[in-house]
Structure 1
Amino acid sequence: MVVALIIACEVGFWVLLALGLGARYLLKWRRTSVVLLLCEPVLELVLFAVTAYDLRNGAEPGWEHGLAALYIGYTVAYGHYTIRWLDGHAAHRLAGGPPPRKPPRHGLPRAAHEGRMWLRTVVGGAVSSALLLAAVWYVGDEGDASALEATQGAVLKVVGIHGLIALTYLVWPKKAPAGSAPKGRGELGEQPRRCD
């Protein structure tokens, strides 16, 4: 049941996002688009509630409960970033807005961008770990929480590996080709833009 709900939440995320951006840029219904996009966090709340209910009703803690915590953590860390990124592309393609900025490709600006992305992964890992820890406490000594604890270990490994990858951009920065002008700072799609 939890796996099916995770899939439904992922599908719901993209459907709400498509409807929200379509309402904003094709139909010019800005308030409707805001309402649709604000429904995105409700999906995670539903997933959290159903996962807690499943554990409370005596379900054996398994990988699917860990996956639910990972999904919620990822969405908290990267959901808004993804929406802004796609909003920038939709504004460009559907409303004649400026093209979204691409991430820096060279030097310290690229290292800073990768560092910011790693911090998002840290936030997602912290949220996932907190949910997994709460689930382990919730199950207590009555159930086998080894799958949840293994997922906590996997979260720490992912955060560590991503941190090492981000660090390589600082230690061994990629040099810009000779004669190229430095580009402006900024993450993908992060130019100033009203979203209401």
Structure 2
Amino acid sequence: MTFYSFARNVVKLALKPIYRMEVIGLEHFPKEGGVLLCSNHINNLDPPVVGITAPRPVVFMAKKELFEAPVLGKIIHHLQAFPVKRGMSDREALRKGLSVLKEGKVFGLFPEGTRSKTGELGKGLTGAGFFALRSNAKVIPCAIIGPYKPFRKIKVVYGPPVPMDELRKNKASAEEATEAIMSQIQQLLHTYR
């Protein structure tokens, strides 16, 4: 058993009794090939919740500061997460993200870059569009809906792939691609709230 599977089982055991999770749309999730998984961000528990509900292991990009925490840093490193310097263009993180997708893995991103204080979807950063346009990965939108209150339901909704072929063909900007992704996440929030 890999460390990822072990950690996933531990997190499942810890979170399932507290939060009633309903997972919708797993049929949209590609069984193989590179996947750029883009989700809204409402709580610190979003990465583990996505990690335990996605049908394939997810490699996350996480802020560099988390890797400097003594215990947490080691754990997230073993979960194959990699660091990004926030607030600047981090070329190493961009290269690493593209290589994760080229290797046919699932790369998890929170395009807003930070948690939403209001629960409403914020503006997405251009990184999501960059990865979507520079790779041939399928882009799967994800909406996490719920108050993260004990014994209340949390919905994790995976939507159909965001159509990217036209944007790639027309050499769209990273900003336009990010807007297309965010509008699909917004649509899921609107439909399933």
- Into which bin does the TM-score normalised by the smaller protein fall? under 0.3
Query: What TM-score results when the alignment is normalised by the length of structure 1?
Result: 0.27
Please say which structure displays the higher CA radius of gyration: 1
Compare the two structures and name the one with the higher strand fraction. 2
